[in-house]
């Protein structure tokens, strides 16, 4: 039996606002630099995983404030307020240019992996702000999955144990700081693909490690790669 293929994606890799929409965000430059504009470190982590496992990587550097690629088309948080106020035709144009092509490319990669290997592990790379609404997040790494999918439960349990073995001081939590079964790209795939063919995990890194930078941030990336390597043996 073939091992499942890996596919890596990063939906919030940057805070770019394409030129046609720059005027909408002229007074929101500070917001674009925060976690609401993008996921700091998520793309660097995704690139490290893709390189280590020779896996295909799909990423976007368009800000989630223009369109959030990790939300369904009907989600009220799909666009920032300034975009939601645009005429429907303008919002549809944004979806046609940025959202729909990304989803189509992601689906093509995942289905190709299943066709060639029988199953796929899709890792979606994200990061989270250390504090939200006055609450300090109590984790270094989060592994998000759907508890109704046995393959996802098993993979995250083994990955958490592997992370603990590689770096005992890391606080690793499952389905934290968000619920893995919530609206997102992995949820979208789960509605289309059976559990024996598709395993979707969102990897969440505490941005405090990204902001610290230097050797500690590089070391954490290596730990995550090595722990996953051990998990997939």
Q: What is the pLDDT of residues 43-59, one digit of tens each?
A: 999 999 999 999 999 99
Burial class (CB in 10 A: 0-12, 13-18, 19+), 95: middle
Residue 52 is predicted with a pLDDT of 98
Q: Provide the pLDDT confidence category of residue 3 given band limits of 50, 70 and 90.
A: confident
Tokens of 159: 């990955």
Report the share of the chain in percent with pLDDT over 90: 97
pLDDT tens-digit readout, 86-101: 999 999 999 999 999 9
Span 141-161, pLDDT tens digits = 999 999 999 999 999 999 999
How big is the chain by its Cα radius of gyration, in Å? 17
97 vs 20: CA distance, rounded Å: 12
Give the residues across from 120 on adjacent strands: 5, 198
**Helix 42-53 and helix 214-231: axis angle, to 10°?**
40
Contact between 187 and 146 (Cβ < 8 Å): yes
Residue-level pLDDT at 198: 98
Report the candidate in 124, 127, 89 with the shortest Cα–Cα distance to residue 103: 124
Question: Where in the sequence is the domain holding 21, given as residue range(s)?
Answer: 5-231
Give the CATH number for residue 47. 3.40.630.40
pLDDT tens column, 185-223: 999 999 999 999 999 999 999 999 999 999 999 999 999
What band does 2 get if pLDDT is binned at 50, 70 and 90?
A: low
Tell which residue, 9, 22, 225, 208, has the closest CA to residue 127. Answer: 208
Hunting for tokens 């603990």 — which residue is that? 164
* Alpha-helical segments (H) within 81-146: 81-84, 88-94, 100-117
Sign of the C-alpha dihedral, residues 115, 3, 178, 47?
negative
**Residue 148 host element (H or E):** none
Q: How many domains does the chain have?
A: 1
Cβ 148 vs Cβ 191: under 8 Å: no
Secondary structure of residue 68 in the 3-state scheme? coil
38, 12 in Cβ contact below 8 A?
A: yes
Kindly compute the dihedral angle of the four CA atoms of residues 15, 19, 21, 24, in this order, to the nearest 10 degrees. Answer: 80
């Amino acid at each position: 039996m073939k091992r499942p293929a890996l596919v890596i994606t990063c939906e919030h890799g940057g805070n770019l606002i394409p030129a046609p929409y720059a005027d909408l965000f002229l007074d929101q430059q500070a917001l674009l630099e925060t976690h609401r504009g993008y996921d700091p470190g998520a793309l660097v982590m995704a690139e490290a995983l893709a390189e280590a496992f020779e896996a295909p990587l799909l990423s976007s550097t368009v800000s989630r404030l223009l369109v959030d690629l990790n939300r369904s088309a009907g989600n009220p948080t799909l666009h920032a307020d300034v975009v939601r106020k645009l005429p429907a035709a303008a919002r549809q144009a944004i979806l046609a240019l940025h959202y729909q092509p990304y989803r189509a490319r992601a689906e093509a990669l995942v289905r190709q992996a299943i066709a060639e290997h029988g199953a796929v592990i899709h890792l979606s790379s994200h990061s989270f702000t250390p504090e939200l609404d006055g609450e300090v997040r109590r984790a270094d790494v989060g592994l998000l999955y759907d508890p109704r999918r046995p393959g996802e439960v098993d993979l995250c349990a083994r990955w958490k144990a592997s992370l603990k073995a590689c770096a005992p001081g890391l606080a690793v939590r499952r389905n934290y700081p968000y619920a893995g079964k919530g609206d997102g790209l992995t949820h979208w795939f789960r509605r289309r693909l059976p559990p024996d063919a598709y395993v979707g995990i969102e990897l969440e890194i505490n941005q405090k490690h990204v902001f610290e930078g230097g050797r500690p941030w590089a070391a954490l990336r290596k730990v995550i790669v090595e722990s996953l390597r051990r998990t997939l043996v």
